[in-house]
Structure 1
Amino acid sequence: MLEILDVPNAHNDGLILAESLWAAGLNTRAVRALLANGELVRIRRGVYSLGATWRGANSDDQYRLFVRATVVTAEQPLLLSHLSAAALHNLPIIGPWPKVVHAINNDTAGGSSARFTTSHRSVVEPEPVTINGCAATTLARTLIDVAATSSFLVGVTMMDHALRLEGERAENERRKGVAGAPALSKEDLYAELAIVHPRRGGPKVRRVIDFSTLLSANPGESMSRVRMHELGFEIPELQVRFVVQGRDYWVDFYWPGVRKIGEFDGKIKYTRGATLGDRHPGDVVIAEKNRENLLRPEVLSFDRWDWDTAFSPRLFYEFMIQHDVPRA
């Protein structure tokens, strides 16, 4: 039934407005039928998505669709902030996304919550950027707001990710001879913190900036490092190079005092992502095993852990103790 829709005009990067359905000749009864059989999914009143699009999206993409749908249906323009702005900036989150959309609104009395929107007051009026047609706080401001209002784990994970990607972007532009913007740095974040001067959470933000690094290659490594810190283990050196048989090998974590290598073994490398590329997952597993076999003689121990282990403080503590990771 949805074939009658003029897809290029009716779809807004995954969103379908009710007006497009009516213009295509569908009535309320027809839309209800599409919802019932799963061809359509209602995201917000008056905003829909194709069922296949919604079901094929991960939780990050689903929350982004919800955020954009809320912007489309808002009575007044929204300046997205906090975790909602983070989602549009494609920052990773550990744990679930919120059920509401966060926005800056200085007309509210001390911040307010509605059914789908949570409004925040700001000491300093944010400078907006436009992402997918939505106004949002800048990357630096977003990181400060998230660090002030979220857990240490969420703040560090997002900040690590942003610093790494910004560093990679600037380096790629330099190699291509492109005069791009300087990479976002920790100094920029300290300066942004001084400007924003949040009413609450300022000291926590500073701790997040202090702890953050561009050397964490993925959220799993960031989470592992936060767990080590919280559980009282020695923070290892990151992305350490070993030269074996004339070749360079980089490891996630290295404790030089006990000559121990540690690696976060994310399942994503065996299913999708840059590590897999166009190779078969089995080939990646064999390559990882061969790499480990080359590195083991260079150290006293080589340990791997996965997402489930790092996500659980109890499991991670037990793993660290069992494998003699030094305490701080």
Structure 2
Amino acid sequence: MLDILDVPNAHNDGLILAESLWAAGLNTRAVRALLANGELVRIRRGVYTLGATWRGAESDDRYRLFVRATVATAEQPLLLSHLSAAALHNLPIIGPWPNVVHAINNETAGGSSARFTTSHRSVVEPEQVVIDGCAATTLARTLIDVAATSSFLVGVTMMDHALRVEAERAENERRMGIPGAAALAKEDLYAELMMVNPRRGGPKVRRIIDFSNLLSANPGESMSRVRMAELGFEIPELQVRFVVHGREYWVDFYWPRVRKIGEFDGKIKYTRGAILGDRHPGEVVVVEKNRENLLRPEVNSFDRWDWDTAYSPRLFYEFLIQHNVPRA
């Protein structure tokens, strides 16, 4: 039945507005039938998406759809901020996304919450960027706002990711001879913090900037590093190079004082993503095992841990103790 929607402007990058349904000749009963059989999913009143799109979406994609649906139906233009802006900037989160949309609105008295929107006041008028047709705070401002209002873990994870992706972007543009903006750096974040001067959370933001590291290759590595700091363990060097039989190998973590290698094994490495490519997961596991066998003679110990271990402070503490990771 939804073939009738395959007309210009019926789909808005995954969103289907109620007006498109009515314009396509569907009535309330037909829409209810589509909802009942799963062909349509209501994101919020007046905005829908295809059931297949929703079922195939990760939590990040679902939250982005919810944010964009809220913007599309807002009575006044929204300037997205905090975690909602972070979602549009494609920043990763550890833990759930909120069930509301965050926006800057200086007409609210000290910040306010509605059913779908949480508004924040801003002493400094934020710069804006447009992402997927939505106005949002800049990447630097978004990182400062998130760091001030979220956990140390969430702040570090997003900041690590942003610094790494920005460095990679700038380097790729340089190699291709494309003139582009300089990569976002810690100095920019310190300057943004001074300008924003949040009423709460300023010292925590500075600690997050201090601790952030663009060498963290993924959220799991960022989380591991945060847990080590929280639990009182020595922070290792990141992305350390080893040369074995004339070949280069890079490891996630290295404690030079005790000559220990540590590796975070995210399931994504063996299921999907650039590391897997067109290879079978079993082939990747064999390659990783052979790599480990080559590196083990170069150090005193080589340990691996997974997401579930690092996510639990208790499990990770027990793991680090059992494997003689040095204390800070």
For normalisation by structure 1, the TM-score amounts to: 0.99
- The 5-angstrom pairing of residues 53-92 of structure 1 reads 53-92=53-92
Specify the code of the residue in structure 2 equivalent to 1:133: G
Aligned mates of 2:13, 2:292 — CA distance in 1: 43
Aligned mates of 2:113, 2:37 — CA distance in 1: 33
Specify the code of the residue in structure 2 equivalent to 1:212: S
Aligned mates of 1:7, 1:145 — CA distance in 2: 40
- The 5-angstrom pairing of residues 179-198 of structure 1 reads 179-198=179-198
Offset at residue 7 of structure 1 (A): 4.4
**Segment of structure 1 superposing worse, 211-220 or 8-17:** 8-17
Match in the other structure for 1:298: 298
Match in the other structure for 1:118: 118
Offset at residue 137 of structure 1 (A): 0.2
Match of 1:65, SS state, is helix
Offset at residue 293 of structure 1 (A): 0.3
Structure 1 residue 150 corresponds to structure 2 residue 173 = no
Aligned mates of 2:301, 2:7 — CA distance in 1: 57
Match in the other structure for 1:13: 13
Aligned mates of 1:217, 1:296 — CA distance in 2: 22
Specify the code of the residue in structure 2 equivalent to 1:165: V
Aligned mates of 1:9, 1:63 — CA distance in 2: 22
Q: Which sections of structure 1, spanning at least 5 residues, go unmatched?
A: none
Aligned mates of 1:276, 1:174 — CA distance in 2: 27
Aligned mates of 2:117, 2:162 — CA distance in 1: 25
**Segment of structure 1 superposing worse, 236-245 or 2-11:** 2-11
Q: What CA RMSD, in Å, does the superposition of the two structures yield over aligned residues?
A: 0.6
Aligned mates of 2:56, 2:124 — CA distance in 1: 39
Match in the other structure for 2:4: 4
Structure 1 residue 32 corresponds to structure 2 residue 32 = yes
Aligned mates of 2:322, 2:13 — CA distance in 1: 49
- The 5-angstrom pairing of residues 312-323 of structure 1 reads 312-323=312-323
- The 5-angstrom pairing of residues 231-250 of structure 1 reads 231-250=231-250
Structure 1 residue 41 corresponds to structure 2 residue 22 = no
Specify the code of the residue in structure 1 equivalent to 2:213: T
Offset at residue 177 of structure 1 (A): 1.1
Match in the other structure for 1:205: 205
Q: Which sections of structure 2, spanning at least 5 residues, go unmatched?
A: none
Offset at residue 279 of structure 1 (A): 1.2
Where does structure 1 differ by over 6 angstroms across 4 or more consecutive aligned residues? none
For normalisation by structure 2, the TM-score amounts to: 0.99
Offset at residue 6 of structure 1 (A): 2.6
Match of 2:178, SS state, is coil
Match of 2:9, SS state, is helix
Aligned mates of 1:58, 1:210 — CA distance in 2: 31
Match in the other structure for 1:264: 264
Aligned mates of 2:140, 2:153 — CA distance in 1: 18
